[in-house]
Amino acid sequence: MKSIFYRTGLLAIFSIAILISGCSDKSVTVNQTTSLSPATSSFSGDFAYDWTYTTNRIIADQQPNPPKGSRILSYVAVAMYEAVVAGIPNSRSMAGQLRDMPQMPAANADSVYDWPSVLTAATSTVVRGIFDTLYPTSAVLVNTTYNTEYNSRVSSVGQNIVDRSIRHGNDIGAAIIQWAHTDQYIETRTMHWTIPPRTQNPAYWAPINPGDVPTEPFWGLIKPFVLEQPDMFTIHNPYPFDTVPGSPFYADADEISQIALNLTQEQINIALFWNDKLRTPTPPGHWFSIAMQVMQQKHYSLDKAVQVFVAVGAAGRDAFIACWKEKYDKDLLRPETYIRQYIRPDFYPYIQTPSFPEYPSGHSSYSGASSQVLTNLIGDNVTFTDMTNVPINIPPRTFSSFFAAATEAGFSRMYGGIHFRTANLNGIQMGKSIGAYVTSKLKFYIYSN
């Protein structure tokens, strides 16, 4: 079932959501269900990669905006983790750790479960329920993955164990979807944001491209998983809006103008590599893919793989919520608008300017959060080759660490002409702070410090 998209051995993506409205140590503890069920660690991480791969394919096909992509991946990651946590000795559920997450349906201590089958049922249920609309082609992807995994597990452990496991997984998935409906996403679908005119303040953002409408102006109201408040780690722009040549704000804009006039081939390659728009799983999916490629390289077992995914999903979700709140609170114009009006009217960015305010950079924020989580959970100075977008003819790039990748992702927005330097640097730093906070709060085991 694996297509060329994201697969070197299986390139996937995963995004997860973790927030604690006080992330206390009073989380629900889950011990291994029964000695008759094999430990989650006895299975390959491939079972999680299959479903993150499928989710990324759907995101690439349906193209939800990046904040929606982060939300989708966060719940998928929680589903994968909760499906197999009962097979991890001395482990903890995310219930009680992520904001408002209730206790999940419990497995029967006297029954035998096949954790890959539980994961297939829970994750497929969440994938079917978390998208606003599931296109027919996407439903086929879900069904194909489900049937492939189901038939494989029946051949391995038998019909009765698989069917029992599927029922349990369906219950977990349904509980997660019910919980997802309480995060204020539904309420924000009907809210309307009136764009403040630049005649009121020349620093304000304005749509640029034909048909542009503000993207997710109320995303800052979505409940984070771990942050107590979205603005806990916000770094406010230190440079006040100014059109005087030589001022810090003008210098930031002039730098983008000069980069555009002197773009090198390497800068173009970087801008395209991290563009993450059409036919890609968006920035969240890209970082899930990076996580998966490295875990495949290191031959992670299923228990470790789902832990990494759920942490990346939670931190990335919270970083986007924090970023979007600051974007619409500050409502700062894009380089394209500023440069055309105050520096040179013939300026055009190399990549298309997105339809939302400039500060801070969303890609930088998500990259900072993900790189910090991956560094904390996998290690620093991990060399890897990222082949995420090879299927759409974007060559791979090699990095010496997760932080190196995040830094390049941030600078890619300057090379593309869509963000000021300050938005990238501060976005990465804010994301790193959120990533560090999330990993310090999440507890996978009873005896976690």
Give the C-alpha separation, 48 to 151, whole Å: 17
Residue-range domain boundaries for the chain: 29-186, 229-441
Q: Residue 432: in which H helix or E strand, if any?
A: helix 421-441
Give the C-alpha separation, 175 to 181, whole Å: 10
End-to-end alpha carbon distance in the chain: 41
pLDDT of residue 448: 56
Which alpha helices (DSSP H) does 298-379 contain, by range?
302-330, 335-342, 362-377
Give the C-alpha separation, 113 to 131, whole Å: 28
Give the C-alpha separation, 332 to 358, whole Å: 5
φ, ψ for residue 385, nearest 5 deg: -110, 120
In a 13 Å sphere around the CA of 302, the CA atoms on its Cβ side amount to 28
Interval 45-83: pLDDT, tens: 999 999 999 999 999 999 999 999 999 999 999 999 999
Q: Name which CATH class applies to 229-441.
A: mainly alpha
pLDDT of residue 36: 83
pLDDT of residue 170: 98
User: Is the peptide bond between 102 and the residue preceding it cis, with omega within 30 degrees of 0?
Assistant: no
Interval 396-449: pLDDT, tens: 999 999 999 999 999 999 999 999 999 999 999 999 999 999 999 999 999 755
Q: Residue 30: in which H helix or E strand, if any?
A: strand 29-30
Fold of 29-186: Vanadium-containing Chloroperoxidase; domain 2 (1.10.606)
Residue 320 near residue 66, CB atoms below 8 Å: yes
Cα dihedral sign, 273-381-321-328: negative
Residue 340 near residue 247, CB atoms below 8 Å: no
Contacts of 364 (CB under 8 A, 6+ apart): 406, 409, 410, 413, 419, 423, 424, 425, 426, 427, 428, 431
In the chain, which residues have pLDDT < 70? 1-35, 448-449
pLDDT of residue 249: 98
Q: What is the pTM of this model?
A: 0.93
pLDDT of residue 447: 75
Residue 76 near residue 288, CB atoms below 8 Å: no
Residue 286 near residue 280, CB atoms below 8 Å: yes
Residue 99 near residue 20, CB atoms below 8 Å: yes
pLDDT of residue 7: 32
229-441 matches 29-186 in CATH topology = yes
pLDDT of residue 371: 98
Helices 248-261/421-441 angle, 10° precision:
100
pLDDT of residue 30: 62
- Rg of the chain taking only CA atoms, in angstroms: 22
What are the structure tokens assigned to 104, written together?
Answer: 């999940």
pLDDT of residue 28: 58
What are the structure tokens assigned to 426, written together?
Answer: 């501060």
DSSP lists the bridge partners of residue 385 as 398
Q: Residue 91: in which H helix or E strand, if any?
A: strand 91-92
pLDDT of residue 16: 31
Give the C-alpha separation, 69 to 72, whole Å: 5
pLDDT of residue 449: 53
